[in-house]
Structure 1
Amino acid sequence: MNPQLLRDQVAGRVHAAMLTAMRADPLVLAQTAEAIRAPGDRALVSQARNLLLATTAALTTVVHIHRYAPDPHDRDMCRACGTPDCRTLRGIAEVLHAYGTPTAHVDRAEAWRRADAWFTHTSNGPVLVSVKEFAAGFIARGIAPNLTVPAGILIIDRHTGALTQWPDLPDERLTREYTHYLNRPL
């Protein structure tokens, strides 16, 4: 697997686990914990949300440090390890897979939400956003209403949620180019 894609998948799984913890209602967890008789189980349930948030925040830091960048010979290398195949990321990926952590599959609504937030932030105001689905993700086009010109093109990866900027090309060409981008050797 492409090392950058592996990193993006690890980051996506960690983010998905963090979102799961953020969406959990602390009051419901506290009420559930009160009903549990075994002290160890009660402590685990009452602390689960905070433990998961702390763990995913720590993993987010590790994933941020272990990212790929070109070396002096223009080969992508892990910035922390100095290797083309980061053992740290691979190990985290194996553990996350073994324990069945959720993958960060992005649906159309989430793709629109991410694109809307990005376009609104980069355009300093509201932007009309259209989203078109394809096998590997979603093509999002933004148009600033007062300008009626494209605010840009984004592709939101279906598996990682990663956003990448693209030139204004026809959808068919964007899907081909993005597939090529995902499969490129590092």
Structure 2
Amino acid sequence: MSQAERHLASLVRQLANQDRVELVHPFSDLKSFAALVYVAECFGFRYVGVRLVGRHKVLHVYLVRSGEAWAQQRAAANAAAFPQVGAGGAVPGMHLNSLTPVPEAQPDVDLLTKVIRYDAMTEAGNPVQLRTIGVGAGVLFLLLAVLTGLYAVLLPLAVLTPAFMFGSLRVNTARRAKLAAQLTAAGCTPVRDEAGRERFVRPVPYPA
């Protein structure tokens, strides 16, 4: 069984038994995540966001079962048309036994990739968190320099660590602004989630 088939089989098990789905594949790229989200949305789920978990910032992608009538109608139609998803059968929008989109699905998967990337960058580039880490690390290194007398080592760190954090924040902000422009041009709507973070909602509903 290929990696794509394993991912699809795991996804189908979650879709069958859960109203909330969590995709965690540390070595998958965003395009693979987007393809899995596309398939899940064909079966009545909708993408709701991401989290970066742990020291290594492993990406977790979340979906929930949609209560919209059009989503459930689409799910029923696809369940009838694709009864062997995850068991070697055809998959909506994908080439057989792969997570490679067919031409008709490619634009939707590309848009999903951008939405997931934007959310992941927002999660990684929390301005308050990065500023706090940068300032806190600078103060810590400065105090250690005073206490230990290792000024030649610790003073540069006291300067460079905050500079790196603030530089990372500026780069992240610029990249998100570019991506936000692309999402807006694609018809997505900017919204604020419950934590006040900006996200983009894709135009829906999709046809069944």
Q: TM-score, normalised by structure 1?
A: 0.33
Q: TM-score, normalised by structure 2?
A: 0.31
The structure number with the bigger radius of gyration is 2
